[in-house]
Chain A
Amino acid sequence: MTPIQANQMPDLSDDFRQDIESSFPPKLVQEAQAVFRGQDTEVNTKAPRRIVSSENAEGEPISSRELHGTDHRYAIVAEARKAIEDVELRDSLAREQIKNAGIVKAYGQRVEVFRSRTAKG
């Protein structure tokens, strides 16, 4: 059901248009406006991509009940936790690499000192 819009009645005088609009029950007008706002919102503001897909393993959309169900929440939390752990592991490995490189470099520098003290020239 599409509400009649004043601008769709160009052949009507302004006074008459206002009369017609004012004759609509206010509740109906509000509902009509809400429908239009809702459509606009849907078109313009798509929900951001979730970490967990809103589809099941077979690619079928998950119902709202399933989406907000306990199992699905667990899946979202588990996946987010795994992602965080992966990042932490990568950070930890990177820190370990940096630390080890520093240790080996220090050995090399000490060896260099020994050689400088001992070698000819």
Chain B
Amino acid sequence: MALTKVYDAATVFKHMNGILNVYKPAGMKVKHVRNAILNNICKGLNEMEQRNPRKFRENRILLGTGTAADHVLHSIGEQTDLSDHLLSTGPRYLPRDLSCATVSSLGDHTSGVLLFGINRGTVQSSSIRKNRPVRVYHLIGHLGSATENHLPDSRVTMRSNHRHVSADRISSLAASMQASHQRKMFELCGVDLQTQEAYELACRGLLRPADDSQLVVYGIKLIHFERPYFTLELYTINETQECLATLVHDMALDLRTVAHCSQLRCVRHAHFDVTDSLLRHAWHLPGIIKNLRQQRNILREHPQLLRQHRVELQISE
């Protein structure tokens, strides 16, 4: 595919479709990220070459004699329509001209991969959402102090010692939690774990919830421990920021200490990785176009993101 330089805003707008992978900074609301992206797209488009103000219609019926000597009439015929001038109509592209939908939202304190469907990509974004892909999080817990909402910005409610906590203790707890979450999934389906039915269910692939009411955890792993911080890797569906923070808090209580969640970071959403997500300083039109192209390739490589063939969605009650 030969790449050509494009200077024309309309061409760019026409190709502005697809999924966008943005790195959401912590402490910024999804709404603000969305507005920033849309405003930057429009700013970029408005700086490109615009169409000229339209001319009055060629065959405008003139009521005069229409002879060549009639200057007045001919100048009307030639004139550009000033009501279509940029200064009277305003900028050609406005944020509301673009449609934009998030695949799934992130909390205010969460940073990391955030997917947007832009224009025709909104269809893709909703089908990705309906497929409920797994998201991978890195949670950094801070041992020794608990806070009111389990996030770092609220009041400290409890402090405690954490000398007895070691990496082994955390890993073994994580493993047992993972096992219990997996068992819960089968129980919700109404099958006993020690049966042929359960085996067949498991053979069909990942058991996923049909609606977005229940938090499902597929894996918890301790990946880094440096007192007082520990980092967990979490594979989940239907999570919210509060759920994850509470999970860290509960884990710490099981370890007979307290902790709060000092950072939440989404590192992967289905096949969309943090490595090719768009950082804040690259939220401009060229960067966004490039990112849309990258994500399009990812979607082409993994068509199951949009259409599921192999895995059936289980109904959990």
The answer to whether A and B assemble together is no
- State the A residues within 8 Å of B (CB): none
